[in-house]
Chain A
Amino acid sequence: MNSRFFLETEALRYAYRKQDDFWVINDIDLGVRQDEYLLICGPSGSGKSTLCRTFNGLIPHFYGGKIDGDIRVAGKSTLNQSVGDLFMHVGMVFQNPETQLFNHTVTREIAFGLESLGLSQADIHTRIHEVAESIKITDFLQRNPHELSGGEQQLVAIAAILSLHPQILVLDEPYANLDPINVRRVREALRSVLKQGVGVVVCEHRLSLTVADTHRMLVLNNGGIALDGPPDALLNRSLESFGLEPPLSVRVGERLDLTPVPLDIEALKSRVSHQSIPLDLRPDFPVLHSAGAKRILEVEDISFSMDNCSILKNISFALHEGESIAIVGANGAGKTVLLKHLNGLYRPATGNVRIMGKNTRASKVSQLARHIGIAFQNPNSQFFKLNVWDEIATGAEALDCFDAEWLQDLIKLFRLEPLLKRAPFRLSGGEKKRVAFAAALAPKPMILALDEPTAGQDWYFRRALGSLLKELRDRGQAIILVTHDLSFAEQHSHRWLLMAEGRIVKEGTPWNVMSDKTAMEKGHLEPTDAFRLFGYES
């Protein structure tokens, strides 16, 4: 083994069950230096999260299972050390900040690990203030972590680990649930962590959010290392086969034979003139063919308050057959609350919502479910049946509109045939989402609304979802997307409603909205790569 590396694995294999021969990670030889920023990427199920959990001993000590080969931290095998021996060397931040924060204040959250180290009160205080200043969270030290935004929670989770002075910080999909402004905050924090001499390892699907920051990329596929090297050397290979979408700047750079390939739009723009950018690389946008189509949803000047806090203010818009709209905005802008008004889960304090001419005030939620199917962000909130067929059928049966032929049609559309007998809660993240979408469509609603459909999903899923949405639109179905994923929303919606502080601050085509800098700033959003490269032409 090479002593340049702080963390090393040698012929590492792991299976979650002792009796299994399915190695989730297989024959991994890897070394991570303390001064590098490593991106681990690959399709869903490629073994990224499992590999990360071997770095700090959670695998095998917490998960059990069967492990072969060796993994060493600072020269010592983790197989002979407990997680308690390793946590001060390799810090780990998980995907879901909600369940990794379990104290009453941010100060207590950071103090928890320091208490485990057995530090004196004076040292604990010093480290809390040091880390809070370095990650820029001093403003909310006395706040309850569960009252913070997703990005702030992620920063607190990072601070709680960094205060332990680990030599390597590992983050499992840190951007999965964050809006663009919070992604930027976490990225800045990670760059600053690296400058302080802490190695950074990030697992992430979306290359455009990470490659410009990293020194090295590791592509996993089927549990093994498929590619390993600096991003500019790997990005000009065919990454699509590994479920990864190269950033737009890389695709343009390749076409123009730029070496090394530019890793972000700024780097590309600084190297080539605007005129030389090939326009055929501009993404395709959906075209609305059905001008004059029937209006199926009308939201008329609605307002809504909760606990004396005004959440929606004077919202109005309409939706037509075959149309797709995206409700975009930062965390806490009121998007999900607006969505819950569309099927009567919330009733507006003033104004009206009408679906197919029916006022939601005068209709039960179950009646409205026939007209609008909503799939919320977390499919686990709805699964309770023992197989996929029953799960999809249950809503339609409750509404007395079960149609076996339509269900078969949906199963084909969402490619669920091989999963029908499996338990829904045992499926992968992408499969669960497909089941939830099919369940929302089972009562044959005219409108399908999807809340953060692409969160934490790889490119395979995003591409498949894109084709599904197109097929639904072609059948005349109206679509509502509620999302932070602006590049997906740009490619799959005709119109955007940009929300900020409970209001629609801009409505129009995606590029029309992005060209309004004031509205984008109000919404705490940043334009997509495609808009930054091609949009100013329009």
Chain B
Amino acid sequence: MLFDCSVMKVEKLKMQKQFLDPRTKLLLAVFWAIGVVAAHRMPTLLVALGLVLAGVLVMGKGKRYLRWLRLVLPMAIFFGAVIWWSVDRNAGFFATLKLLNLTSAFFVFFSTTVPEDLGNALVKIGLPYPISFVLSTSLQFVPIMGRKIKNVLDAQRARGIPLEPGWAALRHYPAFFGPILIQSFQMAEELAEAMETRGFGCPGRTFFKDYRMTVLDWAAICIGILLLVIFIILN
């Protein structure tokens, strides 16, 4: 087993009090994304990114954000470099900043929303339960897939297949994708079995938690819409 630091720490997850309904948070994230896409000036994007980063720090998720940024930053830089090469330098910077802004906003959304809450809340607004379940469970399985990817890399490197990042590894990529694909299918089958044995899809499903839009939610949505409209007009 790959050593899990949290096992040693025996750190309890604290019950997080959710101030806003997941649907409200999703709408606010979408408003933010529209604003970012509509922005035409570099200072606006820098201020927006600054605001998101301030939010990350206030929520105490700085370390997690840095770990996540290690994955996203190379992608954003690569994306920006392609735009710079095909258009010009300004467009390249713009693209990088927009991508960072968008992904950072959704980082905040996903790190403050319990996947099951998001799924169940979407069911309340008419999304079929199987679809919302797939959405919330996919989020839940991201870290498990991460561990499986690491295990595959370690197992192949341990027998001399060079899968260290770099061009040389490209020749050996079947050694990476083959086991990942096979294990994903196995995992999907085992998960489906486990769901069936706990009554997935039975009619008359109830919910452990209530999802009600409060005055705070409606106020947040109205303020969000208002700010977005003002921003677009001024922009």
Contacts and interface: CB of A to CB of B under 8 A. Distances in A.
B207 to A, nearest CB: 6
A119 B208 CA distance: 9
A499 to B, nearest CB: 11
Interface residues of A, number: 86
Interface in B181-208: 182-183, 186-187, 190-202, 204-208
Contacts of B197: 56, 58, 83, 87, 91-92, 161
29 contacts: A83-B197, A87-B199, A94-B190, A99-B144, A99-B190, A100-B193, A104-B116, A108-B116, A108-B208, A115-B206, A116-B200, A118-B204, A119-B206, A121-B207, A121-B210, A143-B13, A147-B11, A336-B1, A345-B157, A365-B157, A365-B162, A369-B159, A374-B159, A376-B155, A380-B182, A381-B152, A382-B152, A385-B178, A394-B159
Contacts of A374: 158-159
A100 B201 contact: no
B112 interface: no
B15 interface: yes
A84 B201 contact: yes
- Of residues A88, A160, A306, A366, which shows the largest number of chain B Cβ atoms within 10 Å of its Cβ? A366
Nearest to A123: B206
Interface in A370-403: 370, 373-374, 376-378, 380-385, 394-396, 398-399
Interface in A42-61: 56, 58
B6 A147 contact: yes
Given A384-B174, A398-B160, 11 more contacts: A100-B191, A104-B115, A161-B198, A177-B1, A332-B7, A369-B157, A376-B151, A381-B148, A381-B151, A382-B179, A396-B160
B75 to A, nearest CB: 23
A428 interface: no
Given A99-B194, A118-B205, A398 B161 contact: yes
Given A103-B116, A369-B158, A143 B12 contact: yes
Nearest to B198: A113
Interface of A: 56, 58, 62, 83-84, 87-88, 91-92, 94, 96, 98-105, 107-108, 111-121, 124, 140, 142-144, 146-150, 160-161, 164, 177, 306-307, 309, 311, 331-332, 334, 336-337, 340, 343, 345, 364-366, 369-370, 373-374, 376-378, 380-385, 394-396, 398-399, 425, 439-440, 442-443, 501-502
B157 A99 contact: no
Contacts of A399: 160
- Of residues A149, A376, A399, which shows the largest number of chain B Cβ atoms within 10 Å of its Cβ? A376
| Nearest 8 CB-CB pairings of A with B | A384-B178, A116-B199, A395-B159, A100-B194, A309-B5, A113-B198, A369-B160, A118-B204
B76 to A, nearest CB: 24
A337 B199 contact: no
A83 B175 contact: no
Contacts of A395: 159-161
Contacts of A100: 190-191, 193-194
Contacts of A369: 157-160
Contact of A58 (B158, B193, B202): B193
A499 B151 CA distance: 22
B154 A340 contact: yes
Interface of B: 1-9, 11-15, 114-116, 137, 140-141, 143-144, 148, 151-152, 154-162, 164, 172, 174-175, 177-179, 182-183, 186-187, 190-202, 204-210
A142 B206 contact: no
Given A345-B158, A394-B161, A336 B13 contact: no
A364 B163 CA distance: 12
Contacts of B158: 343, 345, 365, 369, 373-374, 376, 440
Contacts of B13: 105, 142-144, 147
B15 A102 contact: no
Nearest to B15: A142
Contact of B179 (A99, A116, A380): A380
A482 to B, nearest CB: 10
B157 A366 contact: yes
B116 A345 contact: no
Contacts of B148: 381
A132 B194 CA distance: 20
A94 B198 CA distance: 12
A505 to B, nearest CB: 15
Contacts of B209: 121
A501 B174 CA distance: 37
Given A87-B196, A384-B178, A394-B175, A366 B208 contact: no
Nearest to A332: B7
A160 B198 CA distance: 8
Contacts of B143: 146
